[in-house]
Structure 1
Amino acid sequence: MLFLHSAHHLPTISSPYKGSDHSPPWLHPVCHDDESFALLKFKESFTINQSASACSKVSSWKPESGDCCRWDGVKCNADTSHVISLDLSSSCLYGSINSTSSLFQLVHLQSLNLAENHFNFSRIPTAFRQLSRLTNLNLSASAFSGQITSKVLELSNLISLDLSYNPLKLQKSGLKSIAQKLTNLKELDLSGVDISSTVPNIFANFSTLTSLFLRDCGLHGEFPIEIFHLPNLQYLLVGHNTYLTGSLPDFNKSSPLQYLGLTGTSFSGELPNSICNLKSLYYFAAGNCNFSGPLPSSLGNLTQLILLNLYVNRLHGSIPQSIFRLVNLENLNLFSNRLSGTVEFDLFLKLKNLKSLQLSGNNISLLIKPACTNATFPKFEILTLSSLGLSEFPDFLRNQDELGLLDLSHNKIHGQIPKWMLNLSKNTLWALDLGFNSLIGFDKLPVILPWTNLQYLSLDSNKLRGSLPIPPLSVISYSVSNNNLTGEIPHLMCNLSSIAFLDLSSNYLSGLLPQCLGNLSDSLVFLNLHDNNFHGTIPQIFVEGNKLRMIDFSQNRLQGGLPRSLANCTMLEALNLGHNQMNDTFPFWLGILPKLSVLILRSSGIYGAMRNPNRNFDFPNIRIIDLASNDITGKLPSQYFKNWKAMQVGHVKGLVYMQANGTSTTPMGK
């Protein structure tokens, strides 16, 4: 006893094995042969991508390597040598798993992590109940499917259970059963699991819980307000449950909440002043909810906040000055509320860690002083300042070299885009929106815009003059409609091999449509050249296998026949060739397109009689067809109306003909 007592006072001796995976062999347990065999058999039941570096865990599992307690991902009990922990997360395992798997021979397992593998949509085996010692079970994002077996609920020692992001379904009474049977649980993550039920009131008695993640589960009904008062709850995420209602309580000073995610729910009411009691809160996301009332000034007491997202609510009043005390804040999103008043932008200088600031969609007037050229200004990654009354480009942008998204749309910015903008975050900018201002062009237009990773570019509704700006090869969406651009479409545009959305409508562009537009067929989904001065025939640019869903060439001076290559557009939903000078008969051959629902040929030079439809060309999904102001003769065959069954069902609201990439075309022609 004297020796044991003295041992506590022995000086610390630096070991040559400290910080190393190679501790002395006499301290290592030696794996049991049957467990080593079971592990090898488990490995052999899967296909493993040996070339992937992330799959190195099982590469050391070989019969000749001896002791399995030394294998990556395996941990053994120091006294009994039994395998007690198995971590094979992100190990590139692919294949099915069932109750005959050798995994279930490892009955001493206390912790099992199989997350981020692919188990080929297997059901969760009932044999999990054999692992009765399990305290931690993680099967997240591992392609399990079907209903969650009730046998998991027999694992009464579980402290942590993560079944998230699998196509799983929990029986209706499942949440209640979890609270009743897994009474030791501290961490529960069922995000992405189909639960489709209310949250039972019994969860308010789940006093051991520290983490509750139920994101995107189809929850509905009233969220029990008492759950917010669970004495140990630190992490609560119930976002993206559209029909989940609730309100925030008066928070206690003893609340340990650190993470609160309510985004995309129907929570409502005001933000309570008592929110200041959440002294440990660092993440508060309640965007796209129904919260109303003012922003409480007590938010300024949440000094640990890193993220504050309250976008798309009905909050009103001014932004409280206390917000600028949140010196740890990295993300502030107040987009699309009813906030008002004048905000001095230099106040954000105090928030040195701020990386994302989104204020658009309010009635705020933003006052930016010249002093904002201060070199210590935060380095933004996301900045949305649309609809804030700006009359010129904020000068502080000169110092921004890490921006990813910049939105200055719907302001009053006029004149030329300054030269220094072309040096703005050249390598990081992926989205730029300067639409709905009064810009007349670039101070010096380069051959190709310089942002090498730009994917989304909008210059809509300005007063841009001269030739068409050419975006970089990385662009996915490019919109420059409603400007005063002139000239032809440059052949450089045909190099945009990733572009999906191209809108050059309502300009003064002219010339022939270049044949090389066919180069874009592999990626292009939306093509709008409406209301320009293009002439000549439409080239045969629509190759087989293209992805086009919407084409609008209306209000030009196009001539000749309709290109027969349009029949290759098997994904096409809307086609507008109205108000041109074409010369062709009715294109019955377009009736083969299975998804075509809108066909506009108004005033386009279509002539002759419409023949009876061929059963192979019957426009199976057509809902809107406009043939007005043409030279069509004879009667419209009644058989068309019998075939056009899509007109008899469904409803096209107003003049919204289609939507592509979130952009509504209303209407497609003037």
Structure 2
Amino acid sequence: MLSGEIPPEICGTDGNFFSVLDLSKNNFTGELPQCLGQWNWNLDVLALHSNNFRGRIPSFCSSGGSYRTPKMIDLSDNQFEGPLPRSLSNCSSITFLNVGNNKINDSFPSWLGSLPNLGVLILRSNYFHGGIEEPESGSVFPQLQIIDISFNYFQGSLPASYFQYWRYMGEYGHENTNYLSAYMYGPWVVANDYPIYDFSMTIINKGVEMEYRNILGYFKMLDLSSNNFTGNIPGSISSLHGLHLLNISNNLLTGSIPPSLGALTRLEALDLSRNDLSGEIPQQLTELKSISLLNVSYNNLSGPIPKGNQFDTFPNNSYWGNPRLCGDPLSRKCGSSMLLSPPSQKDEGPDAQFEVEWKAIAAGYAVTFVMGIVIGHKMITKHASWFAKTFGLRQLMRRR
């Protein structure tokens, strides 16, 4: 529950004895002292997340000299504004950069692609905007394994060339069972056998916001959801063989689902929901034997739902909002006349089938009733005398 501002005097501290500065999860406010950006300390870890800091992010790694650059910077869950400082491209040792959930207004920081060790880049829930331009060279983000740019304002096509160049995501890498972390250095930690500081993050996994207190070294994720991306899903995305999570939901994507996605055999979650995708669900996706969550709801998909392997376990809400999809687990059977019915925003369940039958019966009764009135009126009009004599309908004779 610490509060207040960080005083500028902190920059007068002998930083040679600082390895970690962790002020996270408090109530600190105000702007960060700009002298922090000069980085004349030997910090390995700067963790300031989950406070109420505001203003611009200091120009980290802007000073020269022989000082080490940090391995981790976490400024997430604050109120930082303005663009990212370009000096971050000088942080050659950084492996973890998280500025998620702020008010940063900038274009995609492609200039971070030159960092040789950057493995985790989280930009989610900011005001990043514009298209993601093609990289100038093939050597960009060589060690990237987790990138989350969700809940921003990116637009244009998905970055097809980047998918080809993110080679580390294309590796399986299950042999790396260590956690992503930083060794702490300094005079006092040498005597304590270089303790480790584990990195952590909060992401959306399988539709649920989850906090990872430790990040396994082999975990690989790509989240481009909740932006304004348009066009097709590029086939080059299938080169990211090591992916565990792929989320490109809630965009404006069109075209069909590439069958080549079936090559992502390490996938545990695939979310393509709330786009404008069309065509059939490729049978090749049944090769995703590690997948436990599939969501293709609210698109324009059609045809039969594939069967086999994990596809036999997905619930019907994985397919909602696709009125021309058919087959299990939906109640809409393939080949049924219901495929010709107008699109509906809700999936057919047991109650929906009862409702259809009830409406058909009611319509039949209504037609029969109207026909009875018409035929009866004609007969009474034609044989009015007989009806009057037989049933004593004198009032009818008077009207005639």
Q: Look up the SS of the partner of 1:280 in the other structure.
A: coil
For residues 110 and 326 of structure 2, the distance between their equivalents in structure 1, rounded to whole angstroms, comes to 50
Determine if contact 2:126/2:151 at 8 Å carries over to the other structure.
yes
Partner residue, 1:435: 297
Q: Look up the SS of the partner of 1:393 in the other structure.
A: coil
For residues 344 and 197 of structure 1, the distance between their equivalents in structure 2, rounded to whole angstroms, comes to 42
- Residues 442-457 of structure 1 mapped to structure 2, 5 A cutoff: 442-445=304-307, 449-450=311-312
Determine if contact 1:410/1:436 at 8 Å carries over to the other structure.
yes
For residues 58 and 112 of structure 2, the distance between their equivalents in structure 1, rounded to whole angstroms, comes to 15
For residues 240 and 159 of structure 2, the distance between their equivalents in structure 1, rounded to whole angstroms, comes to 14
- Specify the code of the residue in structure 1 equivalent to 2:255: S
Q: Look up the SS of the partner of 2:230 in the other structure.
A: strand
- Residues 112-123 of structure 1 mapped to structure 2, 5 A cutoff: none
Partner residue, 2:45: 235
Q: Which runs of 5+ in 1 are unaligned?
A: 1-193, 471-483, 488-503, 512-531, 536-554, 558-670
1:359 to 224, 241, 244: 224
1:439-484 Cα offsets, whole Å, 9 max, x none, are 2354444698345xx79963231115545518xxxxxxxxxxxxx8
Partner residue, 1:341: 156
1:380 to 233, 237, 243: 243
User: How far apart are 1:369 and its partner, in Å?
Assistant: 5.0
Partner residue, 2:323: 463
For residues 241 and 348 of structure 2, the distance between their equivalents in structure 1, rounded to whole angstroms, comes to 41
Cα pair distance change 1:346/1:294, threshold 3 Å: closer
For residues 235 and 351 of structure 1, the distance between their equivalents in structure 2, rounded to whole angstroms, comes to 25
- Residues 162-181 of structure 1 mapped to structure 2, 5 A cutoff: none
- Specify the code of the residue in structure 2 equivalent to 1:248: I
2:6 to 199, 203, 219: 199
Cα pair distance change 1:335/1:232, threshold 3 Å: same
Cα pair distance change 1:244/1:486, threshold 3 Å: farther
Partner residue, 1:420: 284
Cα pair distance change 1:366/1:212, threshold 3 Å: farther
User: How far apart are 1:196 and its partner, in Å?
Assistant: 3.6
Partner residue, 2:348: 508
Determine if contact 1:419/1:442 at 8 Å carries over to the other structure.
no
For residues 94 and 278 of structure 2, the distance between their equivalents in structure 1, rounded to whole angstroms, comes to 42
1:113-149 Cα offsets, whole Å, 9 max, x none, are xxxxxxxxxxxxxxxxxxxxxxxxxxxxxxxxxxxxx
- Residues 29-48 of structure 1 mapped to structure 2, 5 A cutoff: none
1:250 aligns with 2:59: yes
Q: Look up the SS of the partner of 2:346 in the other structure.
A: coil
Aligned residue pairs, count: 289
1:312 to 125, 139, 143: 125
For residues 438 and 204 of structure 1, the distance between their equivalents in structure 2, rounded to whole angstroms, comes to 57
Cα pair distance change 1:468/1:556, threshold 3 Å: farther
TM-align CA RMSD:
3.3
Cα pair distance change 1:506/1:363, threshold 3 Å: closer
User: How far apart are 1:235 and its partner, in Å?
Assistant: 0.7
Determine if contact 1:413/1:439 at 8 Å carries over to the other structure.
yes
For residues 334 and 257 of structure 1, the distance between their equivalents in structure 2, rounded to whole angstroms, comes to 22
Determine if contact 1:430/1:456 at 8 Å carries over to the other structure.
no
For residues 509 and 332 of structure 1, the distance between their equivalents in structure 2, rounded to whole angstroms, comes to 38
- Specify the code of the residue in structure 2 equivalent to 1:220: T
For residues 447 and 295 of structure 1, the distance between their equivalents in structure 2, rounded to whole angstroms, comes to 38
1:590-634 Cα offsets, whole Å, 9 max, x none, are xxxxxxxxxxxxxxxxxxxxxxxxxxxxxxxxxxxxxxxxxxxxx
- Residues 224-303 of structure 1 mapped to structure 2, 5 A cutoff: 224-230=33-39, 231-241=41-51, 243-251=52-60, 252-254=62-64, 256-303=69-116
1:53-89 Cα offsets, whole Å, 9 max, x none, are xxxxxxxxxxxxxxxxxxxxxxxxxxxxxxxxxxxxx
For residues 10 and 315 of structure 2, the distance between their equivalents in structure 1, rounded to whole angstroms, comes to 45
1:287-321 Cα offsets, whole Å, 9 max, x none, are 11110022344212222110111111111222242
Determine if contact 2:286/2:307 at 8 Å carries over to the other structure.
no
For residues 299 and 372 of structure 1, the distance between their equivalents in structure 2, rounded to whole angstroms, comes to 21
For residues 468 and 456 of structure 1, the distance between their equivalents in structure 2, rounded to whole angstroms, comes to 8
For residues 75 and 129 of structure 2, the distance between their equivalents in structure 1, rounded to whole angstroms, comes to 19
1:91-134 Cα offsets, whole Å, 9 max, x none, are xxxxxxxxxxxxxxxxxxxxxxxxxxxxxxxxxxxxxxxxxxxx
For residues 284 and 510 of structure 1, the distance between their equivalents in structure 2, rounded to whole angstroms, comes to 49
- Specify the code of the residue in structure 2 equivalent to 1:224: P
Cα pair distance change 1:246/1:377, threshold 3 Å: same
Cα pair distance change 1:370/1:313, threshold 3 Å: closer
Determine if contact 2:38/2:63 at 8 Å carries over to the other structure.
no
Partner residue, 1:587: none
Determine if contact 2:280/2:301 at 8 Å carries over to the other structure.
yes
User: How far apart are 1:390 and its partner, in Å?
Assistant: 3.4
User: How far apart are 1:344 and its partner, in Å?
Assistant: 4.6
Determine if contact 1:260/1:285 at 8 Å carries over to the other structure.
yes
For residues 165 and 74 of structure 2, the distance between their equivalents in structure 1, rounded to whole angstroms, comes to 26
Q: Look up the SS of the partner of 2:273 in the other structure.
A: coil
User: How far apart are 1:351 and its partner, in Å?
Assistant: 1.0
Determine if contact 1:351/1:378 at 8 Å carries over to the other structure.
no
User: How far apart are 1:507 and its partner, in Å?
Assistant: 3.2
Q: Look up the SS of the partner of 1:274 in the other structure.
A: helix
Determine if contact 1:486/1:507 at 8 Å carries over to the other structure.
no
User: How far apart are 1:199 and its partner, in Å?
Assistant: 2.8
Partner residue, 2:203: none
2:141 to 326, 342, 353: 326
Determine if contact 1:317/1:341 at 8 Å carries over to the other structure.
yes
- Residues 552-567 of structure 1 mapped to structure 2, 5 A cutoff: none
Structure 1 or 2: more helix by fraction: 2
- Specify the code of the residue in structure 2 equivalent to 1:509: G
Determine if contact 2:25/2:49 at 8 Å carries over to the other structure.
yes
1:628-656 Cα offsets, whole Å, 9 max, x none, are xxxxxxxxxxxxxxxxxxxxxxxxxxxxx
- Residues 589-600 of structure 1 mapped to structure 2, 5 A cutoff: none
For residues 307 and 120 of structure 2, the distance between their equivalents in structure 1, rounded to whole angstroms, comes to 38
Partner residue, 1:392: 256
* More deviation, 353-362/309-318: 353-362
For residues 238 and 229 of structure 1, the distance between their equivalents in structure 2, rounded to whole angstroms, comes to 17
Cα pair distance change 1:195/1:436, threshold 3 Å: same
For residues 110 and 237 of structure 2, the distance between their equivalents in structure 1, rounded to whole angstroms, comes to 25
**So what's the TM-score if we normalise by structure 1?**
0.39
Q: Look up the SS of the partner of 1:260 in the other structure.
A: strand
- Specify the code of the residue in structure 2 equivalent to 1:364: F
- Specify the code of the residue in structure 2 equivalent to 1:384: N
1:219 to 28, 33, 38: 28
- Specify the code of the residue in structure 2 equivalent to 1:269: G
